[in-house]
Amino acid sequence: MSRIRRWARHLRLMVLKVLMEFSPVPLLGRLVVWLAEALVGPYKDRRILARVSDKPYISPRAQIKCRRLYLGRGCFIDDGVTIYAHSDGGDVRLGDRVHLYRGTIVEVGAGGSVHIGADTHVQAGCNLKGFLGSVTIGRNVQIAPACGFSPYEHNFEDRSAAIKLQGIRSAGDIVLEDDVWLGLGVAVLEGVRIGKGAVIGAGAVVTKDIPAYAIAVGVPARVIRVRGEVSSNLA
Ligand SMILES: CC(C)(COP(=O)(O)OP(=O)(O)OC[C@H]1O[C@@H](n2cnc3c(N)ncnc32)[C@H](O)[C@@H]1OP(=O)(O)O)[C@@H](O)C(=O)NCCC(=O)NCCS
């Protein structure tokens, strides 16, 4: 790289860093983030804005209403992300360098919370609902687009009343341990724990606990083998 290009790159990083330092300032923050965005490319090119300073990058096109939102350093909140707490909702905690990509919705209501560990990335169009129970996701977890997490269900036994009037119940919290990978469109239901390093295949519906390092696929998700083991008699 020529000296001029190195110098230009360094200057650009310095400008981005200064702009992002001002990003939390009310009103002015929106303007400086808009300017910083103009200096980088679209979508994932903007991740640099979460790295240049210790301030998170929050797109001006994200919608956030959550009094108890705790953001770690270097978080990336993309366009169209929603983080919404109902008046009785619990907290939302995002560890350092958590990325939430566009269209993802985090919503918390009574008795619910959502906690996501450091370096976890949640791709586009995911839905994390903390109602009656918590959704706790560990560190270094990879969540592909269109995954859903629901620690509650609707009551529906009474045929004489609309389901939406029958309230909700929960069989327990959802926990994903560190280094889990969920493929496209996985649904994780109430009371489920997915063990460390497990892989869940695209389109699975996880209704029961999955052990550490297992690979599970299907509806309902069943373990087909264990990572690093050549053959398995689990199928
Ligand atoms: C599960 C997965 C990781 C592959 O794991 P694997 O251990 O290498 O599995 P294999 O490809 O050897 O398949 C083993 C069996 O499971 C089946 N299978 C694989 N993935 C499946 C899935 N998602 N749903 C249902 N069955 C699946 C295969 O058809 C095969 O069945 P067979 O033995 O009857 O032929 C992969 O198929 C997958 O779903 N990846 C997710 C891709 C994705 O979402 N990418 C987005 C990137 S963020």
**Residue 115: active-site member:** no
For residues 44 and 60, membership in a common domain is answered with no
Give the largest CA-CA distance in the chain: 76
Tell me: the pLDDT tens digits for 37-89? Answer: 999 999 999 999 999 998 999 999 999 999 999 999 999 999 999 999 999 99
For residues 139 and 208, membership in a common domain is answered with yes
For residues 25 and 139, membership in a common domain is answered with no
User: Which of ligand 1's atoms lies nearest the C-alpha of 201?
Assistant: 39
Residues 92/77, Cβ–Cβ less than 8 Å: no
pLDDT at 234 over 90: no
For residues 28 and 131, membership in a common domain is answered with no
How far, in Å, is the centroid of ligand 1 from the Cα of 179?
18
User: Which of ligand 1's atoms lies nearest the C-alpha of 123?
Assistant: 48
Residues 62/71, Cβ–Cβ less than 8 Å: no
Tell me: the pLDDT tens digits for 89-99? Answer: 999 999 999 99
Q: How far are the Cα atoms of 60, 69, 111, 196 from residue 114, in angstroms, in the given order?
A: 22, 10, 11, 18
Tell me: the pLDDT tens digits for 3-50? Answer: 899 999 999 999 999 999 999 998 899 999 999 999 999 999 999 999
In this structure, how many other beta carbons lie within 10 angstroms of the beta carbon of residue 48?
18
pLDDT at 232 over 60: no
Pocket residues: Cβ below 6 A from ligand 1: 144, 183-184, 199, 201-203, 215, 217-218, 224-225
Angle of helix 28-38 relative to helix 3-21, nearest 10 degrees, comes to 160
CA–CA distance, 113 with 221 (Å, rounded to integer):
25
pTM > 0.85: yes
Question: What's the total number of domains in the chain?
Answer: 2
For residues 105 and 161, membership in a common domain is answered with yes
For residues 112 and 183, membership in a common domain is answered with yes
Q: According to the model, what pLDDT value does residue 230 have? A: 78
Residue 232 within any structural domain of the chain: no
Tell me: the pLDDT tens digits for 100-149? Answer: 999 999 999 999 999 999 999 999 999 999 999 999 999 999 999 999 99
How far, in Å, is the centroid of ligand 1 from the Cα of 43?
28
CA–CA distance, 168 with 163 (Å, rounded to integer):
9
How far, in Å, is the centroid of ligand 1 from the Cα of 143?
16
User: Which of ligand 1's atoms lies nearest the C-alpha of 203?
Assistant: 23
Residue 22 within any structural domain of the chain: yes
Residue whose CA lies nearest to ligand 1 atom number 36: 201
Tell me: the pLDDT tens digits for 172-215? Answer: 999 999 999 999 999 999 999 999 999 999 999 999 999 999 99
pLDDT at 1 over 80: no
| Three-class DSSP labels, 84-111 | EECCCECCEEECCCCEECCCCEEEECEC
Domain boundary among the residues 33, 54, 75 is at 54
Residue 109 within any structural domain of the chain: yes
Q: Which of 200, 210, 213, 217 to mutate to test the pocket of ligand 1 (most atoms within 8 A of CB)?
A: 217
CATH code, 130? 2.160.10.10
Sheet holding 181-182, edge to edge: 57-58, 76-77, 99-100, 121-122, 142-143, 181-182, 199-200, 214-217, 222-226
How far, in Å, is the centroid of ligand 1 from the Cα of 140?
21
Q: According to the model, what pLDDT value does residue 90 have? A: 96
Q: According to the model, what pLDDT value does residue 145 have? A: 98
Q: According to the model, what pLDDT value does residue 235 have? A: 46
User: Which of ligand 1's atoms lies nearest the C-alpha of 184?
Assistant: 44
Residue whose CA lies nearest to ligand 1 atom number 42: 183
CB within 8 Å of 66: residues ≥ 6 apart: 83, 84, 85, 89, 92, 108
How far, in Å, is the centroid of ligand 1 from the Cα of 146?
17
Residues 125/146, Cβ–Cβ less than 8 Å: yes
Q: For residue 37, give its domain range.
A: 1-54
